[in-house]
A and B are shown apart, each in its own frame.
Chain A
Amino acid sequence: MLRVESISFAYGRQPALREVSLKVNPGEVVSLLGMNGAGKTTLLGVISGLLKPKGGRVTFENRQISGLSPSAIVETGVVQVPEGRQLFGPLTVKENLELGSYVRLRKHQAKAVAEDLMRALALFPVLAQRLEQPAGTLSGGEQQMLAMARGLMARPRLLLLDEPSLGLAPQVAAEILGVVRDLPAQGCSVLLVEQNALGALSVSQRGYIITGGRIRQSGSPKEILADELLREAFLGPRRAFGGPQDKTPEETS
Chain B
Amino acid sequence: MSAQGKKFFGYLAALAAVLALLPLVVTNPYYLNVLNVVALNVLVVTGLNLLIGYAGQISLGHAAFFGLGAYISGILSGSYGWEPWTALLAAAVVVAVVALVIGLPTLRLEGNYLVMATLGFNLIVSVLMVQLDDITGGPSGYTGIPSLSFFGAPIATDLSFYWLAWGAVLVGLILARNLVHSRVGRGLKALHEAPLAAAASGVPIEAYKVKVFVVSAVYASVAGSLYAHYYGIITPATFDIFKSVELVTMCIVGGMGSLWGGLFGAALLTPMPQLLAVVEEYKDIFFGGILLVLLIFLPQGLVGWLEGKRVRPGGRAF
0 or 1 for each of A51-86: is its CB under 8 Å from B? (1 = yes): 000000000000000000111001100011110001
Compute how far the CA of A125 lies from the CA of B93 in the bound complex, rounded to whole angstroms: 50
Q: Which of B183, B190, B200, B315 contacts A79 (CB 8 A)?
A: B200
A117 CA to B16 CA, complexed, in Å: 40
Is B197 within 8 A of A87, CB to CB? Answer: yes
Check A50 against B199 for contact (C-beta < 8 Å).
yes
In the complex with contacts A71-B199, A74-B200, A102-B201, A90-B183 CB distance below 8 A: no
Q: Check: A10 CB closer than 8 A to any chain B CB.
A: no
| B202 A102 Cβ-Cβ under 8 A | yes
Q: Are A102 and B199 in contact (CB under 8 A)?
A: no
Cβ of B277 under 8 Å from chain A: no
Cβ-defined contact, B203 with A102, below 8 A: yes
* A71 adjacent to B193 (CB under 8 Å): no
Asked if residues B310 and A90 are in contact (CB atoms below 8 Å), the reply is yes
Contact (Cβ within 8 A) A102 B200: no
**A48 lies within 8 A of chain B by Cβ:** yes
Contact partners of A70 in chain B: CB under 8 A? 199-200, 202, 204
B187 interface residue (CB < 8 Å to A): yes
Contact size range, A:
20 to 34
Specify which chain A residues have a CB less than 8 angstroms from the CB of B200 in the assembled complex: 48, 50, 70, 74, 79-82, 86, 151
CA A70 – CA B191 in complex, angstroms?
14
Residue B194, interface by CB 8 Å:
yes
28 residue pairs A–B, Cβ–Cβ below 8 Å: A48-B200, A50-B200, A70-B199, A70-B200, A70-B202, A70-B204, A71-B202, A74-B200, A74-B201, A79-B201, A82-B196, A82-B197, A87-B194, A88-B194, A89-B194, A90-B310, A90-B315, A91-B190, A91-B193, A91-B315, A95-B315, A99-B189, A102-B183, A103-B201, A105-B186, A147-B197, A150-B201, A154-B202
Seed contacts A71-B199, A88-B189, A89-B194; 12 additional CB < 8 Å A-B pairs: A50-B200, A70-B199, A79-B201, A86-B200, A88-B190, A88-B197, A90-B193, A91-B315, A99-B186, A99-B190, A102-B190, A102-B202
Which residues does A use to contact B, with CB under 8 Å? 48, 50, 69-71, 74-75, 79-82, 86-91, 95, 98-100, 102-103, 105-106, 147, 150-151, 154
